[in-house]
């Protein structure tokens, strides 16, 4: 059994000072790794996530190859939806596609409840494998947030403007809030099960909530997010929230009972602090920078780290996920730069 030895990232999440800036990268597992691409020739995402030993291998790879300070569980945010009765298919080049989208109160009433040990045992078994035997760094578990999950459930798949989602939210608020209640219950049960299995921190991805105004967020989303995070606080692990294009929501997030706020590349650490954000921060290199030359990568990374060092409560990450065309050696070199440059 491997004993977890590097808890630097958890200490930063808890507001403690450390002697360097820790790092991990969203979508660090899979995507650009040649070992993963070879697996995908034989297995689908569904196949990989439903085989705990294989999924643990994919989750573990970036820790071994890049030297990052945390693992992020390899799975999809759609994983807990089938137990609710949502038919999800991950289509290549498209993403999650749902054949029975939510359109009415009756659709919401027909949604089932999740029993994590029964319905997503493969996720929990993967966590147990990683945390009991294989990792020397903390494992971050995660879930999609209600708005982001609802957007797929209502649109039937990815969307550019979330018109169906927002139309239902505005015109059928009773349906919307009933759906929020269902997703709240599911997320709390699902995340608590991940923590019980061994996850040491949790990130709630509200990837697409930046599509809402701050006023709409306060009314339609913030109450359910407050209830979710309040319920999870009892588990005493760091809680992280993240969304894309959500600069205008940072102060709303700062009010929530979270420990960490993830920034995308549009807002710097200093800007967030000047806005009045007081939580530990995470982010925020633009992932497309990693497709540039090393001098550019180094310059932009050092600029973020200069702010990180001065701030003292910051975890380095990307402003969104690793893209498939990023070279693995670039991520390894990036991690080395972060660790050496920020050492204090």
Residue 11 has pLDDT above 80, yes or no: yes
Q: Residue 310 and residue 273: Cα distance in Å, rounded?
A: 12
Per-chain mean pLDDT for the chain:
96
CA distance 165 to 192: 27
How far is it, in rounded angstroms, from Cα 88 to Cα 82? 7
pLDDT tens digits for 210-230? Answer: 999 999 999 999 999 999 999
pLDDT at 282: 98
Judged against a pLDDT cut of 70, whether residue 4 lies above it is answered with: no
Q: How far is CA 107 from CA 3, 154, 166, 174, 232, in A?
A: 46, 10, 17, 12, 27
Alpha-carbon distance values, 114 to 119, 189, 217 (Å): 7, 7, 26
Would you call 31 helix, strand, or coil by DSSP?
A: coil
pLDDT of 2 over the 80 cut: no
Q: What is the pLDDT of residues 300-317, one digit of tens each?
A: 999 999 999 999 999 999
Q: In terms of DSSP bridges, do strands 260-262 and 280-285 run parallel, antiparallel, or are they unpaired?
A: parallel
Tell me the pTM: 0.96
What does residue 187 show for φ and ψ, rounded to 5 degrees?
-60, -45
What is the rounded CA–CA span in Å between residue 290 and residue 288? 5
Spatial neighbors of 196 by CB under 8 A, at least 6 apart, are 124, 235
DSSP label at residue 93 = T
pLDDT digits (tens, 9 = 90+) for 165-180: 999 999 999 999 999 9
Identify which of 6, 80, 9, 13 has the alpha carbon closest to the alpha carbon of residue 236: 13
- Residue 79 confidence (pLDDT) above 70: yes
pLDDT(194) > 80: yes
Q: Hey, what are 323's tokens? A: 């893209």
pLDDT single digits (tens) 250-264: 999 999 999 999 999
- Domains in the chain (CATH in brackets) are 8-341 (3.20.20.210)
Smallest CA-to-CA distance from 315 within 26, 24, 19 is with: 24
pLDDT band with cut points at 50, 70 and 90 for residue 1: very low
The tokens for 10 are 């958890």
Reported as a single tens digit per residue, the pLDDT across 26-56 is 999 988 899 999 999 999 888 999 999 999 9
| 247 CB-near residues (< 8 Å, 6+ apart) | 210, 264, 266, 267
């Amino acid at each position: 059994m491997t004993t977890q030895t590097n808890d630097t990232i958890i200490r930063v999440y808890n507001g403690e000072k450390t002697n360097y800036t820790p790092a991990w990268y969203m979508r660090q597992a899979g995507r650009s790794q040649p070992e993963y691409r070879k697996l995908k020739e034989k297995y689908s995402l569904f196949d990989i996530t439903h085989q705990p030993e294989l999924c643990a291998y994919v989750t573990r790879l970036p820790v071994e190859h890049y030297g990052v300070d945390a693992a992020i569980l390899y799975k999809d945010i759609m994983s807990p939806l089938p137990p609710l009765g949502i038919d999800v298919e991950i289509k290549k080049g498209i993403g999650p596609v749902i054949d029975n989208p939510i359109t009415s109160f009756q659709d919401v009433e027909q949604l089932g409840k999740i029993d994590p040990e029964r319905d997503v045992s493969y996720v929990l078994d993967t966590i147990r494998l990683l945390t009991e035997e294989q990792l020397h760094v903390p494992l971050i578990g995660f879930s999609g947030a209600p708005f982001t999950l609802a957007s797929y459930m209502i649109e039937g798949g990815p969307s550019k403007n979330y018109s169906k989602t927002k139309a239902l939210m505005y015109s059928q608020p009773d349906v919307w809030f009933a759906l929020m209640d269902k997703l709240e219950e599911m997320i709390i049960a699902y995340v608590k099960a991940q923590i019980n299995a061994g996850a040491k921190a949790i990130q709630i991805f509200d990837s697409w909530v930046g599509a809402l105004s701050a006023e709409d967020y306060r009314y339609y989303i913030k109450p359910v997010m407050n209830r979710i995070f309040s319920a999870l606080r009892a588990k005493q692990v760091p809680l992280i929230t993240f969304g894309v294009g959500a600069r205008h929501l940072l102060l709303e997030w700062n009010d929530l009972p979270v420990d960490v706020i993830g920034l995308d590349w549009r807002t710097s650490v200093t800007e967030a602090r000047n806005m009045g954000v007081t939580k530990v921060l995470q982010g925020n290199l633009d992932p497309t920078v990693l497709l540039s030359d090393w001098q550019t990568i180094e310059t932009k990374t050092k600029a973020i780290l200069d702010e990180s060092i001065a701030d003292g409560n910051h975890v380095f990450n990307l402003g969104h996920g690793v893209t498939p065309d990023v070279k693995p050696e670039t991520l390894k070199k990036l991690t080395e730069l972060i660790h050496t440059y920020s050492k204090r």
